[in-house]
Amino acid sequence: MQYDISTYCPLAFTGFDTRAKSACCWAKIPENPRSFKELQDTITIKNLQQDLLNGVKNPTCHACWQQEETGVVSMRQHFLDINKAIEQEIVDKKLKHLVIDSGNVCNLACRTCGPYSSSSYFKETNAKDIKFGRKEQILTVKKTDLEYLKSEDYSSIASISVLGGEPFQNLEHLEILELIIEQGYAANCKLFYCTNGTIKLPKRIKDIFSNFKSVHFTLSIDAICEQFEYIRTNGEWPILLDNVADLKELSKNNTNFNIDGHPTISALNILYLDELYEWYEENNLNYNIVICESPLAYSFKIFNDAQKEIILAKLADSRFDMAAIMQHIGNSSFSQAALDNFYSEIEFTKEFKNLDINEYLPRLMKLLEQ
């Protein structure tokens, strides 16, 4: 079996993301398949697979190619590193890597998020539509697609990632985990959770964890203290600290349990990264970053050239590795529309959430005055 390792991606052959209806959250599949089998039958995925095998950087995977060019470990590279049987999976094309969309119920309304992933954004979004004279959106609570998930073949399952909303406020997905345990496949499967870290784990979940090969918690923490409470709106830093302590204690008592971080790097926290990285370091937590491209209001496009130079100088002076972020900033271009949107957003946040950005992120606002 011939394949080019420089472009090959396991997810194209063995992955299904129930939220994106695709092999992963980045690849757009216009056929909108509901199941892994339907995905494998689409023309888009067949063409993608052929290109990846032959060393062609298919534009469907542009997000990974872009990340790899800037030195950020892409999703493709991450799954390639943990993959052990490339030739077999190319032939079998059986589900190995599943992303479960647990639903959009969430207790936080993070500034770089929106109503598509957080029910806490519903009232804010409706109020914003009314204020700016837009047509109000129809916002509904999403739930786990149990009908599909109960019918899937899990005989080759190797990893399950559970997303939200906040997964621990969307507990329907536990039925699928318990089904996989009953079928005898859990012991070969790694379980991943992306969580905001503000919800304590119920006993039922802890009991489920012990059946899986390993359990990995990824904490979406983008800042600390008051900066955390602005960016992760509705979150309270002391509560988060208590929950992180509980998770660390759980990891001490379970060798198959570990915790890391996944901060979103945006205009909001770019001047506060040293404190954030120091906190990760003090808590012995590894982390992988993601760069905010959307919403544009919080992207690096709000900075002009002079402001970017100040940011780059600060990052260059850090003891932490900021190379990938610096490259991304260097490649960004100023957008007046993005900046105008930024000011519109922070004013609305002050009005609706009673959060004044000048009190929470003073370094950012001082920079934007220059």
Domains within the chain, CATH numbers bracketed: 11-302 (3.20.20)
Residue 197's CB is within 10 A of a number of other CB atoms, namely 24
pLDDT of residue 84: 65
Q: Tokens at residue 189, please?
A: 């499967």
- Read off the pLDDT of residues 234-265 as tens digits, 9 standing for 90 and up: 999 999 999 999 999 888 878 889 999 999 99
Q: Which residues contact 259 (CB under 8 A, 6 or more apart)?
A: 216, 217, 218, 219, 244, 247, 248, 251, 285
- Read off the pLDDT of residues 34-81 as tens digits, 9 standing for 90 and up: 999 999 999 999 999 999 999 999 999 999 998 898 887 899 998 886
Q: Which residues contact 328 (CB under 8 A, 6 or more apart)?
A: 70, 291, 300
Instruction: Give CA–CA dist 18/274, Å, rounded.
Output: 35
pLDDT of residue 73: 85
- Read off the pLDDT of residues 156-180 as tens digits, 9 standing for 90 and up: 999 999 999 999 999 999 999 999 9
Mean pLDDT of 222-233: 98
Alpha helices in 7-163, H assignment, sequence order: 11-14, 36-40, 43-53, 62-69, 75-82, 86-92, 122-131, 146-151
Q: Is the pLDDT of residue 83 over 70?
A: no
Instruction: Give CA–CA dist 49/52, Å, rounded.
Output: 5
Could you tell me which of 53, 129, 57 has the C-alpha nearest to residue 89? 53
Mean pLDDT of 270-275: 98
Number of H helices, E strands in the chain: 18, 8
Residue 195's CB is within 10 A of a number of other CB atoms, namely 24
Instruction: Give CA–CA dist 126/139, Å, rounded.
Output: 9
Give the whole-number percent of the chain exceeding pLDDT 90.
85
User: pLDDT averaged over the chain?
Assistant: 94
